[in-house]
Structure 1
Amino acid sequence: MMKDTFAAVESAMSVPRWRSLLFVPVHVPRFVEAAHERGADGVILDLEDSVPQDRKGEARKRLPESVAKLARRGASVLVRVNRGLRALAVDLDAAVMAGVDALVLPKTDSAEWVLEIANAVSELERERNLPLGRIRFLAQIETPAALQRLAAIASAHPRMVAMALGPEDFSAAVGGSPEFDLLLTPNLSVLFAARAAGLLPLGFIGSIGEFSDTHKLRETAAQARRLGFVGALAIHPTQVAIFNEAFSPSDQEVEWARHVLAAEKEAAAQGRGAFALEGKMVDAPVVQRAREIIAMGTKAELGV
């Protein structure tokens, strides 16, 4: 019965469009106040790494006010919880509330861990008369052990909606530096697992901490979109506009997609599944890519 309920909630909810998700430390009011002005598709109210240990209690107390402020602005509201069991329990008690769209789960390393959190969130939703299953999960992959379990993690629970590699933590876990050679394979692994499970693949091949070299960041973000990523996590406002542009289709792409869909409609009326357009053959995969471009350009669901 519970699976049926989750399935109904999931089918009724749209796939979010998260070109940019901006981390904001909850315990710094001025950052929270300005978060809605940055243009991010979602704001991650952080209880984890950006909050010192002795300020975490204060951050949790500030959550209700912070969530309420951001929820009124139209962007998605996410909360990143802590990994440790004791801290996680307190975080969930503070974070499961109306207005929260998703939880960011750091250092996710197994499907069983996702299920444990999902069960706890379900209990809190029922106790608080919140819609069962509305709060989704974005799993951060930050350990080499998690790479062996990506498929299971991605399909662990209907709450799962997105996955992203944590480049800094992952690099530290393997004793390396967050550079292209090290991060390419794990990022692609996350991308493939997310796509296979129908989740949003978020990320780019590089360090999340590099934001001052905007030219390099634009190139990195553009490359990520070409690979198949749909958005990225940001730790600085400078990154937001760059990600929004990089993960949005250009006017030329939208025009091409419209031509493809118009030609596909005409071809279908003639009983043809494949057709030539501008000197190239077009079939189902190309039509699907055109549909995704149109969807991304109109802020509709990605799964059109």
Structure 2
Amino acid sequence: MTGTTDVGIADMPLWRSLLYVPATAERFVAKAADRGADGVILDLEDSIPPDGKAAARAALATAVPTVAAGGGEVLVRINRPWRLALPDLEASVIAGVTGLCLPKVDSRHHLVEIDQVVSELEAERDLPVGRIRFCVLVETAQGIAEAREIAKGPRVAGIVAGGEDLAADLGLPEPDPEVLAPYEAAVRLAAREAGVMPIGYPGSIAEFTDLDLFRRCAEAGRRAGSEGGMAIHPAQVPVLNAAFAPSAEEIAHAEGLLAAFESALAQGLGAVAYKGKMIDKPIVDRARRILEMRDRIAARRG
């Protein structure tokens, strides 16, 4: 999908939780579809050592249909250097794959080049051209500087600032959430401007032992405007699913607010109040987004 400033939540993917699984980890792959994640990212990059790249590519032929059978989305994270990326794409653009996770994207031009290769492979293999979407990882200072153009690139569905790699590229001693906050905010702003999905939360993706801390990080991500996050451990998945879904209280409030608004409209009233507060268009829009997200989650479960 190409970025646009007039895209609603229905045009975004439902990626509350994206679970990384090494493509060669047969035991994890076999159970990945049962973890409840909205999407599973079969990894060819960081979790695969250099001498295991070929085996990981070969494993996709079995891993993709195994994960796809569970009904969630299947993405593949490829490598960044072109000598690795091209064979990764050859192996990844197959039936069942709905997205590619692209690391260390630092320019829109890089996305254009990837798009051309993917389009050629889709056409050659009788796959719907354009169906595979991109989940973009911005992990360098240059990528942050180019975030607005990157978010508007071809096929971009979601974008996230990768804290660990970004901290290293910025020369930080550690990925301090407070230090990284303005860079992450820049990526979220770029996503909203382009009409694509902002992903991410403050803190480390590696935090899976203290799930209460991880929950607070995920909830902070949602308050900041993100629509989902990534996980490296199955225990993180239900935390993300809950954090990036509207609560029962939010749903009840949205339902009541919209009912009051629609009743007032039917009566020809120009001003509407609900629970002691005036209702205007932004408040109504937020309520509708909450109920639309509720319905999308229910459809996924169904």
TM (norm. structure 1) is 0.92
Question: How far 1:236 moved relative to its partner?
Answer: 1.1
- Map residues 128-167 of structure 1 onto 2, 5 A cutoff: 128-157=125-154, 159-167=155-163
Quote the residue 2:170 is aligned against: 174
Q: What SS does the aligned partner of 1:228 have?
A: coil
Question: How far 1:249 moved relative to its partner?
Answer: 1.0
- Any conservation in 2 of the 1:267–1:275 contact (CA below 8 Å)? yes
Question: How far 1:124 moved relative to its partner?
Answer: 0.6
Indicate which of 208, 213, 219 corresponds to 1:211: 208
Quote the residue 2:95 is aligned against: 98
Quote the residue 1:238 is aligned against: 235
Indicate which of 245, 259, 265 corresponds to 1:248: 245
Q: What SS does the aligned partner of 1:70 have?
A: helix
Task: Please give the root-mean-square deviation of Cα atoms over the aligned residues, in Å.
Answer: 2.1
1:167-210 per-position Cα deviation (integer Å, ceiling 9, x unaligned): 10001111111112222111111111111111111100111112
Give the whole-Å Cα distance in 1 for the aligned partners of 2:292 and 2:69: 24
Question: How far 1:273 moved relative to its partner?
Answer: 5.7
Quote the residue 2:188 is aligned against: 191
Give the whole-Å Cα distance in 1 for the aligned partners of 2:2 and 2:161: 30
Unmatched 5+ stretches in structure 2: none
Number of paired residues? 294
Q: What SS does the aligned partner of 1:237 have?
A: coil
Confirm or deny that 1:270 pairs with 2:267: yes
Give the whole-Å Cα distance in 2 for the aligned partners of 1:224 and 1:92: 31
Change (3 A) 1:6 1:154: closer
Aligned structure 1 segments of 4 or more residues deviating by more than 3 angstroms: 4-7, 270-274
Q: What SS does the aligned partner of 1:290 have?
A: helix
Question: How far 1:271 moved relative to its partner?
Answer: 3.9
- Any conservation in 2 of the 1:204–1:221 contact (CA below 8 Å)? yes
Quote the residue 1:45 is aligned against: 42
Quote the residue 2:282 is aligned against: 285
Quote the residue 1:224 is aligned against: 221
Unmatched 5+ stretches in structure 1: none
Q: What SS does the aligned partner of 1:134 have?
A: coil
Question: How far 1:6 moved relative to its partner?
Answer: 12
- Any conservation in 1 of the 2:76–2:92 contact (CA below 8 Å)? yes
Identity %: 47
- Any conservation in 2 of the 1:6–1:133 contact (CA below 8 Å)? no
Change (3 A) 1:185 1:125: same
Change (3 A) 1:271 1:116: farther
1:260-302 per-position Cα deviation (integer Å, ceiling 9, x unaligned): 211221222234465110001111111111111112222269x
* Partner amino acid, structure 2, of 1:66: A
Quote the residue 2:296 is aligned against: 299
